[in-house]
A and B are shown apart, each in its own frame.
Chain A
Amino acid sequence: AQSVSQHNHHVILSEAASLELGCNYSYGGTVNLFWYVQYPGQHLQLLLKYFSGDPLVKGIKGFEAEFIKSKFSFNLRKPSVQWSDTAEYFCAVNALLTGGGNKLTFGTGTQLKVEL
């Protein structure tokens, strides 16, 4: 079964600081990778996704992530955070199941707080 680990549970940054959130997954087969964001009081939104091709993917609101297959990692980055980036960030792995179908597994999440 696949698993996803996020190393940072709580991150506090000042505005304009750079952000990197770590994500590692464990699964030997074909996977697609995602970052979702959950702003306070709002529903989960897709931030970016990786299916294949260029391992550096760009998402909404200036976020990007790099897939490093050899490290089973999919870290999220943003050069300069804003107060409005305060939210919970979830890394997720969608993997094919041996019995058919697929399953989206989430990491434990990282609570990001950006201070003015």
Chain B
Amino acid sequence: DTEVTQTPKHLVMGMTNKKSLKCEQHMGHRAMYWYKQKAKKPPELMFVYSYEKLSINESVPSRFSPECPNSSLLNLHLHALQPEDSALYLCASSQEVRLREQYFGPGTRLTVT
């Protein structure tokens, strides 16, 4: 099973709202990732978690706050977002952070109004 699941599929939020995106994998992978993908563009790395610890933050604004409660779950907490943050947010996982292939979830389509 190479499935990464993400909820919700779609999310509309105002600039003053607080919301969370969730990601789950049951492949025993120890590395998990958040990416942002704008329309007609490639995914861009936001955060990397390795063994439940944040290992890479690609200079992402603090209005995005990642959390890894356990090895299977990854959250992205959103607060005071801007309209330009509207995008597809992708979660991925890999066996570990060592050049292994990453498996992607279907994404959450976020619209900030």
Mark A residues whose CB is within 8 Å of B. Answer: 30-32, 34, 36, 42-46, 49, 51, 90, 94-97, 100-109
Which applies to chain B's interface (DSSP): helix, strand, loop or mixed? Answer: loop
Contact between B99 and A106, CB atoms less than 8 A apart: no
Interface string of B14-56 (1 = CB under 8 A from A): 0000000000000000000100000011111100101000011
Taking CB atoms, residues of chain B closer than 8 Å to A46 are: 101-103
Chain B interface size, under 10 / 10 to 19 / 20 to 34 / 35 or more: 20 to 34
16 new A-B pairs (CB below 8 Å) besides A105-B45, A108-B42?
Answer: A30-B99, A32-B99, A36-B104, A42-B106, A43-B104, A43-B107, A46-B101, A51-B99, A94-B99, A101-B55, A102-B97, A102-B98, A106-B43, A106-B44, A107-B42, A109-B40
Contact between B45 and A44, CB atoms less than 8 A apart: no
